[in-house]
Chain A
Amino acid sequence: MPAPLDPPEGNWWDEPVNRRETIWLGIAGLWSVGIFGWMSGFTQFGDQNPIGETYDVEPDAYRERVQEYKDAAEETERGLVPPEDSVYVGAMRYNWDALPVVLEAGREYDVHLGAYDVQHGFSIRPEETLSKQINLQVFPGNEWVIPMTFDEPGTYHVICNEFCGQGHRSMHGTLVVEEA
């Protein structure tokens, strides 16, 4: 009788497989291929993909870029109004540079993410619905441009979710999305 502690006897490769195990292999195999197909397809037809152009940029150069953007943006009481479709966010210990920002609902923005010092985590959700949240990794040395369109007006809160040092928990910023 086959035991896992003994070498199998005879031509074990050609032993028939139990019928129900064969059916299970079919179900598991189809499911595996199916979820691969869905994930691949969603990059083509889906609206939520962590996909965008990435550029190499030294942290100091990125900081200058964010500063140029801030200079060009309009300052209001609620935050910066971006001059064009690009929104820059600079992650640093323990602050989100260039936030808060005021955006129009329904308009597509290119959100530029980069860090000045160590790795950070861009974790964002609307104030009203905490379950609607996404998280993206932010590197020093890379500028990641992710297009986003916020349909619902409201305040979106950004916190850091990659450990960046002792003050990590205090890193907070906002995006204010207003009706166009």
Chain B
Amino acid sequence: MLGTLRALFGNEYDAEGYRSCSVTGLDVHRSVEEHVKLFGVTAVVALVVGGSFAFTVATTRWELIGLLEPGDFYTHLSLHAWNLLIFWMVFMEIAVLYVGGPMVLGRRLPLTALAKAGWAVMVAGAVGVNLSIWFTEAPEQAPLLTAYVPLPVSPWFYATAIVFLLGATVAALPFFAAVWKEKRGAATKTLPLVTFGAFVTGVIAVEAILGGIAAFAYALVWRVGLIESVEVGIYRQLYWIVGHGTQQINLLAMVTVWYFLTHVVGGAVVVSEKVSRSAFILYLFFINLGAAHHLLVDPGMSTGWRVWNTSYAFYGAAFASMIHAFAIPAGIEAGRRQRGLGGGLFGWLTSAPWRNPVFSSVVFSVILFGFLGGITGVVMGQMQVNMTWHNTLATVGHFHATVALGTTLTFMGLTLFVVKTMFRREFVSDRLASLVPYAYAGTMSVATLMLMYAGILYGVPRRTAEVVRNIPGTDFSLAAASPLFALFGVFALLAILSGILFVVATVGSLLFGADNSGGDLTDLHAEGGLTPDGGTSVHAVELRGTFVLCLVFMAAFVAAYVLNWYLLTQLWSIGA
């Protein structure tokens, strides 16, 4: 066991501790690589734990099976949420910061003691949160993701959640130190785009974490009796700084990984440094206003406050996402056209390396995040439309589109990439690895759409053990939605099975995959080399395919927008 671990964490380095990566062309220092592996492996453990609870949660909501009693359901739902939405993501994101910062810059990881300490504190916090949820007993209640006061949630939960957030802050410090060292004495030097994206991700992360510490500390001092009462509205505002903020970290980390992976395995170029960087700047200033999305149908918030914040100030952050929606596929199109790979409107896309699971994961993630996650996010974020989405399963559909089909799928691709390039293991089965993104993207998309339909067309609420086939104490029910749940149930199970395949492909390869450290991983190399050799200048490449794809996206956006507003205006008159 220890021998296997040692073998996994070892690689051949030169006297200075560096090795050259044949896929990315980067000079990788041992200190960075080892910590990326550490955080990556921990993230996958959290994925397995949280994913196991996906099974019990989905088979309870599929009321035909109705697996769990309500009490157990809320416990399992809380563990599903915290392990997947927080622990899997944040451990992975620290790894992304280390890749985007010191690894891309060709530096060693500074302050490695802090990185290890941060990891240990994060693990302690994560284990503590899991235990505090598992051992919650009445009258205390499971926290779900939000731990809304004044619901009596275990003080241990708030305390351990704070520990985790503090750990994440400490673990992020080496990244900031690396950027600071890079810029010291060279203030006008421009960072690579991926590092720049990682840096903005880091800033957003710190903002989110500060909000989270404030929210949980406020609830904690109330729970232990230091203050007598707690204001619901204040807690909700503080909580959503981290509740929504962590999802913005997921978004930014994902977009950064998109630029990284489409380049190294797809040969993508940057079509405009100016435009892509401006989009990150828009995120930096405006995306956190989106926390207001959760407060749109709350009492006490003024109309102006809600309209301004939910729109990220005239949709500054949605505009930024639409910029990336063009820039990412455009990067692939430009890079491949410059190499003369694939003609016609979509030849560059159809001839792309679709068997490479790293490439297919990322491309599916771009498409599904945009069409299912992005569009629904903006539509449901319109203050009035939010009345028809708030706390329904449609919301759950939205964030499975963003976080499962978007970030998780991207991180799956990244994990498979790391297995080959950093752990230096061949896949136990190339066919299995290639299958994973197709299986997960396909099945999860259907499950996600069913959640959206159940929520928006039948008003099925989230966070409840039953109500579709039976509401205790009344004849009324939402049984008309049952057929949707039959589809949801089957495809949710298939999505979980796809998740298992991913774990088998990853962990199986780590344990039993052939050592590839002698080879140079030509199967991962971008066709025609990492960067195009000459060819047309980027701004002059005909980006026809991307443009058409974006117009299709805009048409879907407009259609979803009009449909949702149409449904809303069919309602009775509401509001002053």
Contact = CB atoms under 8 A, between A and B. Distances in A.
Contacts of A119: 148, 150-151, 232
A30 to B, nearest CB: 10
A6 to B, nearest CB: 6
Interface in B183-203: 189-194
B303 interface: yes
A8 B270 contact: yes
Contacts of B392: 123, 133, 135, 161
A146 B574 contact: yes
Interface string B269-311: 1111111000000000000000000001111100100010011
Contact of B269 (A3, A15, A27, A148): A3
A52 B575 contact: yes
B215 to A, nearest CB: 15
Contact of A148 (B192, B303, B466, B574): B574
B319 A29 contact: yes
Interface in A1-29: 1-8, 12-13, 15-21, 23-25, 27-29
A35 interface: yes
B150 A118 contact: yes
Interface centre among B334, B338, B464 (most CB of A within 10 A): B464
Contacts of A123: 391-392, 459, 461
Given A28-B323, A39-B311, A47-B573, A172 B474 contact: yes
Contacts of A21: 271-272, 275, 326-327, 330, 543
Contact of B70 (A4, A46, A168): A168
Given A15-B272, A53-B576, A169 B539 contact: no
Contacts of B542: 20
A134 B189 CA distance: 52
B476 interface: yes
Interface string B448-474: 000000001111011111110001111
Interface in A117-139: 117-119, 121, 123, 125, 127, 130-139
A135 B390 contact: yes
Given A16-B539, A123-B391, A172-B471, A49 B384 contact: yes
A161 B464 contact: yes
Interface of A: 1-8, 12-13, 15-21, 23-25, 27-29, 31-33, 35-36, 38-40, 42-43, 46-54, 108, 113, 117-119, 121, 123, 125, 127, 130-144, 146-152, 157, 159-170, 172, 174
15 contacts: A1-B338, A1-B538, A2-B270, A20-B542, A35-B311, A49-B574, A125-B459, A134-B388, A135-B389, A137-B297, A137-B299, A168-B464, A169-B466, A170-B471, A170-B472
